[in-house]
Amino acid sequence: MSKDLRILTIEEIEQENILWAWKPFIALGKICLVQGNPGIGKSTAVLAIAADITNGILPGETDITEPAAVIYQTAEDGYADTVKPRLQGLGADCKRIHVIDDSESPLSLSDDRIEAAIIETGAKLFIADPLQGFCRGADMNSVGGIRPLMAKLGAVAERTGCAVVLISHLRKSGGQSAYRGLGSIDIYAAARSVLTVGKLPLDESMRAIVHTKSNLAPLGKSQAFGLDENSGFCWLGDCDATVDEIMSGKPKPESQFTKARRLLETKLANGAVPAVEIMQMADDEGISFKTFKRAKEALGVLSFKRGGKWYWDLPIDVVCEEGGQDFKEGQTNALVPLGPQAQNQQ
């Protein structure tokens, strides 16, 4: 038996909670991959996150409770004429944004200077943009070339508690987003979280960050942001964008339920409509009446009988000062409770 062999039980290992730079997208002490087509705005989005960290404010939940340092390494843009103006435009505290000077000795992701710089600055975020520019000496397309590099970088993140964000371009074509990244699939595999950035097809100035992989928490809601030459960058909040939508440039198909809701809102916008007209509209649009009934319930649509006909109408509550009761304007005597038999007739 080897004298160096040491075996632990899981019981002996002290449990630790995941800490977050931006929950559930970017974890402290872990590698996050941000990928997208060239020129789509992924670097600007990551710099916006970096700017928020330097100010102690993130667009969502975070364990970074005060302004913190960031290290940003780029192999594409000039720091003086591109990076600094961009960070200033994003409102970053540039005194907290650091750069490892590699003018004499180019930096790679296996470089010991990364860990030393994180420790010296106390950085909570390290960014390599793009990661393909920092894989010097490693074959990006082979498991043997990329896996040791990613393992070493992951260990640095774990030891320092610093979030590592690697920005990567995608190939112009080919299959799922997991297999479109430049280099070995092991880059995607090593990342604990993967964010894919793309354009929302209905608006030229709108982008979305879609959470396409997470080993640490349930996938987060897609995040929209605006990117315009005049108004600059702004977070727009949660959205329903999917990776297929932003990669294909085509909006996702509207569900029958969503379509039914939209049609009801439009049809009833100007007042009550006979139920038979709703049924005819359902038939014309190829939507089942059952789906229209579900949309009706979701919208709180009112049903009432007038002149021997059933009507549907959007709810608009008006307070009756004399009676102190809410009623549907113009329908005080028309609303009737509906039993199962009456509902079936609608």
Tell me the DSSP string of 314-330: ---EEEETTTTEEEETT
Looking at the DSSP assignment, which residues form a beta bridge with residue 306?
A: 309
Backbone angles phi, psi at 275, to 5 degrees: -60, -30
Cβ(140)–Cβ(182) under 8 Å?
yes
pLDDT of residue 180: 52
Q: Which residue from 46, 59, 24 is spatially nearest to 227, judged by alpha carbons?
A: 46
Cβ(107)–Cβ(114) under 8 Å?
yes
pLDDT of residue 324: 36
Chain centroid to CA 21: 14
pLDDT of residue 75: 92
Q: Which domains does the chain have, with CATH numbers?
A: 16-248 (3.40.50.300), 256-345 (1.10.10)
79-86 own/partner pairs: CB under 8 Å, 24+ apart: 83/47, 86/44, 86/47
Chain centroid to CA 322: 50
Q: Which residue from 158, 272, 269, 263 is spatially nearest to 216, judged by alpha carbons?
A: 158
Helices of type H across the chain? 42-55, 84-89, 112-121, 143-160, 185-190, 243-248, 256-267, 275-284, 289-299, 340-345
The Cα-based distances of 78 to 84, 89, 336 in angstroms read 9, 16, 71
pLDDT of residue 59: 81
pLDDT per residue as tens, the chain (346 positions): 567 899 999 999 988 899 999 999 999 999 999 999 988 999 999 999 999 999 999 888 999 999 999 999 999 899 999 999 999 999 999 999 999 999 999 999 999 999 999 999 999 999 999 998 898 766 666 656 788 889 999 999 999 999 999 999 886 655 554 445 555 677 888 899 999 999 998 788 899 999 999 999 999 999 999 988 777 899 999 999 999 889 876 665 667 888 888 888 888 888 888 888 888 888 888 888 788 788 888 888 888 888 888 888 888 642 333 333 333 333 333 333 333 333 444 4
pLDDT of residue 251: 61
Cβ(129)–Cβ(74) under 8 Å?
yes
Q: Which residue from 213, 275, 199, 266 is spatially nearest to 36, judged by alpha carbons?
A: 199
Q: Which residues of 295-332 are buried (b: 16+ CB within 10 A; e: fewer)?
A: bbeebebbbbbeeeebbbbbeeeeeeeeeeeebbeeee
pLDDT of residue 302: 87
* Distance of alpha carbon 346 from alpha carbon 188, whole angstroms: 53
Looking at the DSSP assignment, which residues form a beta bridge with residue 305?
A: 310
What's at 271, amino acid-wise? Answer: G
Q: How many CB atoms lie within 10 A of CB 143?
A: 12
